[in-house]
Structure 1
C-alpha cells in the first residue's frame, strides 16, 4: 500500500505554484513519479520492519515459553521427590502397617508410629523383627547349594550346620556317643563301669576338654583398669538351677529338677534307685553352692568384684582344688606359675565352694562328686544329643517357668534356629563374612561410614554448646572423637579370602554329631586363648556381625555397628536421607553419647538420689547445673503414664535416657547440615510426611516395641518412653508437627542437658 501524499498546510507548497519554467502538468507528473518511488521504498522498508519485529516477537515468545517450562521443572525438582524404588515401597508398607493413623502425633506419637505393632497376635519390637529377618538370611546362606572348596572355612561351616540338622542320624546314634565320653572321664557308678580317677583329674578334663565348669568358671578377660591386659578371672559357675533357696516355690523347683536328673540317668541306662540317690546328692551339692554364692548386685555393693590375688594365694583359700594344674590345662599354651596374678570375683564364694567339696561324706564321696560332674556335663551337651534328652530339658524349662510365675514361653524353637546358633558359636568369623558378603555391599559400607562421619562431626560442633562442661573436659571429648575407631559391618580381617581357614584346622568331623560338636568346642577354646595371647586383633568384637545391637567401648574407644543392624528397615543406601539419619543415624549418635558417661557419673551430695555407678565424674564441671538438668530429666520421664504392666526406674535408666535425648539432637543437627550441602532429597510416598517429619518417624521406628515388663538388667526405659521422652523435649519436633504449646509432645518446660 502506497503512503498518502502529504496534506497541504498553511504557508507550504501549493499545486498551482511552478518551479522555474516547468508547467503545472510537468510538475505534477514529476511529483507523482517521486511519490511513487518514495512510496515503494517506504512500503518495502515498512514490510521489512514488520517482518523483523514479527520474527523477534516469535523468538521472544518461544524463549519465554521454553524458559517457563524450564522454570516449572526446575522449581518442581527442587522439592523432595517420592522414592519409588522397591525398598522404599516396602518401607512405606511397613510404616503404614505399624502406624495408627487415627492417633494424634502431638498427643501420642508412639501410637501414631507404633500403634499396630502386632502380627499374628504376637507383639514384638522392631529389633526382634530385624533379628528374625537376619536369622532367615543366615538359613538361606547355609542351605544354599554352593560348591565350596573342600576343607575350606565355608565348607566346614556349612557341613557343621547340615550335621546339626540331620536329626535322623543323631537319633539313630542314641546315647552311645555320650557313653563313650563318660568312659573317657572314668565312668560313673550309675553305669556300673568306672575306674574312678582322682576328683581333680576329672575336673581338669571337664574344664579343658569339654568346656564344663561345675564348681567355678575360669576365663580370660581384659583387666578393668588400664592397660587392660588379659588376665585370668575366676567367677561363680552357671548354675543348672537358676533359682536361690529364697525363691518362691523353691521345694517344687527342686523336685522338678530332681525329676529331670532322674530322666537323664535313666536314658543313660542307670538303675532308677541308684540314679535317684546320686541325683539327690547332686541336688544337695548345687543347693550348698547356691548358699555360698551372692548375686552380682550384692557383690557389687560389697565391693567383692575384681579382687586381685595369685594362684598360690588362691590355693590357700580353697585347698580342695588343684588350681595350678587345672588352670594350666584350661589356658594352654599359657605359661603359669604359682605367682601368676589373677582376679577373683568373690573370694568368699571360692572358699565356700572348697568347703562344700571338702565336707562331702568320706564314704563314696568320689562316686557322688563324679556323678554330680557328669550329670552337669550331660545337661550342657543336650543340644548335641538325641531328641529324648532334648525333650527332657524342654519339659524342665516349661515347668520352671510355671513355678516361677512367669508368662508361658513357647519352647518349640525350630531346629534350624538352634543349629544356626551353634554354627555361629563355633564358626562366627566365617559365618559373619558370608553374611556380610550377602547383605552388606561396599556401597552400603561406604554410605554407613559417611553417615557416621556426619554424626560425629555434628557432635564435635555441638560440644561448645554444652553449658555444664568445662573447657578441659570438652577438649578431652574432642580428643576422643578425633581418635575414635569405628567398625562397620564386620571386622576387616574376617572379610579377607581364606582368613579363617587355619582357625579350623584342628576340627574333625566324627561319625557322630556329638564328637563333631566336642571337636568344635575344643578348637574354639584354643582359638580364644590364642587370640588373647596374640596382639590385639580387630577381629575381637563383642557381638556377631549378624546381630542387631551396636555398642561403644569406652576402654578401647571404638564404636561398633554390625551389618545385621545396618539393614532395612533401619538403613539402606537407597532410602531417603531423612530415614537413614533418623533411624541408623540416631543409633550411631546414641553410642557416641556414651562418651559422656564418665562425665555424667559424678556423685553430688545435694542429689544423692541421682548417683550412678559410673566411675570418673567431672570435678571441674558445673556440677549443680549438671544435676539440675539430670533431675529435670528424671521428673520429665516420670510425668508420662505407662501401659499396664510396664515399670521403670528413672534413676536406673538415667544415662540411657540422656543418651537418647542427645542422640536425637545430634542426628537432627547432622541431617540439617547434610541438607545444606546436598540437593535431591527424596521422601516416602503415601505417608504425607515432610523430610523432617519423616526423620522423626524413622527415629521412633527404631525403638518401637511391646509394652512388656522391663527386664531387671535392662538400662533402657520402656519403648513408649524412649519415643515420648526425647521427642517431647525437642523443640524442632513440635515445630515440624505443628504441636500447640501445652500438648503432651510440646510441654511448657524443656530440660537442657545437651
Structure 2
C-alpha cells in the first residue's frame, strides 16, 4: 500500500516493505560487503605477489652468481693456492688469505715477472709490429743479449779492451796511470759507472720543481759494516775469494792480487762507514742541500776558495766530471746542484786525498772490480755467476737474502734467468719503443674505460667521505675537495708513450757490435744522451715519466697528475671481467691509498693549523695504539711512529674503497663471486684487499716506512666494523677490538 507524505511543494511516495523483504535486503548487503572485502584482499594479494616478484628480480636477480670465465678461474686458483682456510679469519686474516705465500710468491713479484714475460713476447715476435725506422734496433739488441754462445766465445777480451782505455792495469803489467779525475770522468760519462758517488738528473721535490743535477751516495756492491755484522770476518773471506775469481776470469794471476783486493775491501768498508740512511737524513730535515759546483770544486789554494767559501770535497774535479757526464748541458762554477749528503762527500774526499792518491795502483784495481759488476750483464756468464754466488753467500751470513729491485718494488730472487736480464736492459735502453708496444699489447680500450670508471667512483666517494672526517675544519675540507676535483689522472699510458718521438724512431747513435759489450756501452751512452736532451726540452713535457710496465702509481705534485701504469692494472689486481668486489678490494684500495697520500702533509705536526689539532692527535694516537697492540711476525721489528703515515693511508684506503663498493652495488645489479671459495661479495672484497699485501714477512726491510705485511692486513681490518659484521667476528677476537679509530 502506498501512502503520500508532504514534502515542501511536492510529494514523495514510499513503499512499505514486509519483514521478509527486509531480511532479504540485509543479507544482500552483507554479501556485497563480503564480495568487496574479497575483491580487496585479492587485489592486495596480486599487488603483494607482483611486489615480491619485482623484489626478486631486482635484488635476487642481481645477487651473487659464480664467475666462470678463464680470468676468474685463474684468480680462483691463485686465491685457493695462497690462502689457508683452516685459519680463523677473525684471528689471523693474513694467514687466512696469504698462509701459503711461500708457495705462490708475492702477487706483486708475480705480476712484475708476468709483465717481463709480456715484453719478452713482444721482443721475440718482431714481425707482429709495425716499426718505425731505427726501432728494429731494440729487437736486434735483445737478440744479441740472448746470444750467449757469442758472448761466451768473446770471453774477457772485450772487457780487457775497456781496461786499456782506462790506462791499463798494474796486475797485467801494462799500466799507464791517467789523472784520477780524467779516469773518473771516463767512468761516469762513457761507462755509466759511479764508484764514489752517484750523479743524475731529476726534478727537485720542492717548488719550483726544476730538473737539476743531483749528487747522492753510491750504491755499494757489498755492505761491510764491521760493528753490525757478526760474521764480518767470513764475509771478508768470501769477498776476497770473489775478487780473486774476477782476476782469474780476466786472465790475470790471482797470486798477485792480494794487496789490491785487500785495499778494495778497505775502500768499501770506509765508504760504508760514511753512508747515512735516507731515513736519518729525513729525520734531520736535510733530504738535500743546494750548493754551487764552486763550493764542491777543487780549490785554487788549500782550505778556502773564493769569498771565503770552504770547499766540501776538493779531491774531485766536479766541473770537469759533471760537464763530461751531462754534455751538452752548459755548466759553470756557479751552477747549483742538489747534494743529498754533504757529510758523506766531505769524508769521501778526505779518504781519496789522504790514502788513495798515495796508492793509485790499488785505486785502479778498486775501480776495475766495481766496473765488472756494472758491466756484468754484457760479459761472460762466469762473471755473473761469480757475483750471484757472492750475493747468496753474503745473504746467508747476514740473514738477509739477496734482493732485486723490479718495477719499483724489491723482491727476493735467487735466480735471475738470462731472458729477464735481457728484457730489463732492452726496456732501459729502448724505453720509448717498448713503452708504446707494451701499451698496445696489454691495455685495451675496455680495460682503460673500466679502470677510469673504478677510479672515478673511488675519487667521488672520497670527496663525499671528507664530510665525515672529524678533525678537518670547513675551509680545509673545501680545499681538499677542490684538489680532488681538479686532479688529473692518466690511466695506463702517458702521452709520452703514445706520441711519436724522433729519438724513439731513430736511435742513430746506437752502434750494434762488433761485441755485445760494445753494443751495451753504446746503448748506455745513447740513453744518457736522450735523458739529457729530454731535460733540455720544455720543462712541462719532460718533467717525469712513469714506465708502463711498472707497478707503482705516481703522483706529480707540480702537475697535480696521478698516473696508474698499465702494468699495475692487470690480474690479479684488476680485470674488467672480475667480480666488482675484487676490483674494488684490490685496485680500488690501491687507488684510494694514492689519493690519501696527497694529503699526508695534513697529518704532520703543524701541517693543518686550522684543523682540530686535539681531535687529529687523538685519532693518530688511537691508530698508533691499534697497530702496537697487534702481534708482529716473528723475526721482524718496526717503528710504529715511522710507519704511521703509511698505516693511516692503508686504513683510510680500505674504508673509502669499501664505501665506494657499497655505492656501486646500489646503482648496479648483477654482482658475481668466485665459485667454490665460499665467500659472499663483501667477504670477497676483504679477501681481495688482503691479497694485495701478501708477501713473505721475513723479507721485510727494517728501514721500510711501511708496516710488515701482516700488520698492513690486520691493522685496517681491525679498524673496520664492516669486516667484523660480515665475518661474524666474536667479541674478544683479535680483529674485533673493543674500540676503533677514525682518522680518515
Structure-1-length-normalised TM-score = 0.83
For the pair 1:342 / 2:337, whether they are aligned, the reply is: yes
Which among 372, 385, 389 is matched to residue 366 of structure 2? 372
From the superposition, tell whether residues 148 and 510 of structure 1 become closer, same or farther in structure 2 (CA, over 3 Å). farther
CA displacement 1:618-656 (0-9 Å, x = unmatched): 122111111111111111122222343343322222111
Q: Which moved more, 1:200-209 or 1:413-422?
A: 413-422
Partner Cα distance (1:440, 1:128) in 2:
20
Q: Which moved more, 1:216-225 or 1:572-581?
A: 216-225
Match of residue 88 from structure 2 = 104
Q: Secondary structure at the match of 2:490?
A: strand
Partner Cα distance (1:463, 1:557) in 2:
19
Q: Secondary structure at the match of 1:231?
A: strand
Which among 411, 414, 417 is matched to residue 414 of structure 1? 417
Match of residue 523 from structure 1 = 526
Partner Cα distance (2:596, 2:615) in 1:
19
Match of residue 701 from structure 2 = 711
Match of residue 642 from structure 2 = 652
Match of residue 508 from structure 1 = 511
Q: Secondary structure at the match of 1:390?
A: helix
Match of residue 727 from structure 2 = 737
From the superposition, tell whether residues 267 and 118 of structure 1 become closer, same or farther in structure 2 (CA, over 3 Å). closer
From the superposition, tell whether residues 71 and 268 of structure 1 become closer, same or farther in structure 2 (CA, over 3 Å). closer
Shift of 1:709: 5.2
Match of residue 187 from structure 2 = 206
Q: Is the 8 A contact 1:645 1:709 kept in 2?
A: no
From the superposition, tell whether residues 629 and 70 of structure 1 become closer, same or farther in structure 2 (CA, over 3 Å). closer
CA displacement 1:391-444 (0-9 Å, x = unmatched): 222222223223324358774321112222222222233223322222210110
CA displacement 1:186-228 (0-9 Å, x = unmatched): 2222223343332221211111111111222212222232101
Match of residue 117 from structure 2 = 136
Structure-2-length-normalised TM-score = 0.84
Q: Is the 8 A contact 1:487 1:561 kept in 2?
A: yes
Which among 656, 665, 669 is matched to residue 666 of structure 1? 656
For the pair 1:699 / 2:689, whether they are aligned, the reply is: yes
Q: In angstroms, what is the RMSD of aligned CA positions?
A: 2.9
Q: Is the 8 A contact 2:638 2:702 kept in 1?
A: no
Q: Secondary structure at the match of 1:687?
A: coil
Which among 142, 167, 177 is matched to residue 196 of structure 1? 177
Q: Secondary structure at the match of 1:708?
A: helix
Q: Is the 8 A contact 1:153 1:500 kept in 2?
A: no
Q: Secondary structure at the match of 1:187?
A: coil
CA displacement 1:49-102 (0-9 Å, x = unmatched): xxxxxxxxxxx9xx99x9899869835534343332222233233333333333
Q: How many residues align?
A: 675
For the pair 1:313 / 2:307, whether they are aligned, the reply is: no
Partner Cα distance (2:473, 2:562) in 1:
25
From the superposition, tell whether residues 313 and 673 of structure 1 become closer, same or farther in structure 2 (CA, over 3 Å). same
From the superposition, tell whether residues 154 and 733 of structure 1 become closer, same or farther in structure 2 (CA, over 3 Å). farther
Gaps of 5+ in 1: 1-59, 603-615
Q: Secondary structure at the match of 1:561?
A: strand
Match of residue 451 from structure 1 = 454
Q: Is the 8 A contact 1:494 1:500 kept in 2?
A: no
Gaps of 5+ in 2: 1-42, 300-310, 403-411
Q: Is the 8 A contact 2:392 2:401 kept in 1?
A: no
Q: Is the 8 A contact 1:493 1:499 kept in 2?
A: no
Which among 377, 385, 391 is matched to residue 391 of structure 1? 385
Q: Secondary structure at the match of 1:221?
A: strand
Q: Secondary structure at the match of 2:598?
A: helix
From the superposition, tell whether residues 117 and 224 of structure 1 become closer, same or farther in structure 2 (CA, over 3 Å). closer
Q: Which moved more, 1:517-526 or 1:123-132?
A: 123-132
Partner Cα distance (2:357, 2:213) in 1:
32
Q: Which moved more, 1:327-336 or 1:689-698?
A: 689-698
From the superposition, tell whether residues 463 and 195 of structure 1 become closer, same or farther in structure 2 (CA, over 3 Å). same
Shift of 1:659: 0.8
Match of residue 117 from structure 1 = 101
Q: Which moved more, 1:134-143 or 1:505-514?
A: 134-143
Which among 509, 524, 547 is matched to residue 544 of structure 1? 547
Q: Secondary structure at the match of 1:642?
A: coil
CA displacement 1:515-557 (0-9 Å, x = unmatched): 1110111111111122222224667656532222324344543
From the superposition, tell whether residues 151 and 202 of structure 1 become closer, same or farther in structure 2 (CA, over 3 Å). farther
Partner Cα distance (1:589, 1:304) in 2:
30
Partner Cα distance (2:647, 2:690) in 1:
14
Match of residue 248 from structure 2 = 266
